[in-house]
Amino acid sequence: MHPPYSPDLAPADYFLFPKLKLTLKGTRFEDEEAIKRKVTTTLTGISVEDFFKCFRRLYERHQEYINRGGNYVEH
């Protein structure tokens, strides 16, 4: 398992999956189609600005990692 905010993590690990988890937690679905609809609604509801912020933070973390010569420091 990667440490939180590891440069090895993909945006889905710390941005998309937690949003889905919060939305789906405790929900009982009638069938697979109901799950697909809820996931699609959740993902399409994420704003372009939120995606931009996510990737900007990823870029900044990678830059910091590079600037430290590959030595990872947790935030």
Q: Is residue 3 part of a domain?
A: no
Q: Is residue 17 part of a domain?
A: yes
Domain count, the chain: 1
pLDDT at 60: 87
Q: Is residue 6 part of a domain?
A: no
> What span, in angstroms and rounded, lies between the C-alpha atoms of 65 and 72?
6
- For residue 58, what are the domain limits? 11-68
Write the pLDDT tens digit of every residue in 23-63: 999 999 999 999 999 999 999 999 999 989 888 888 888 88
pTM for the whole thing?
A: 0.61
Contact 4, 73 (CB under 8 A): no
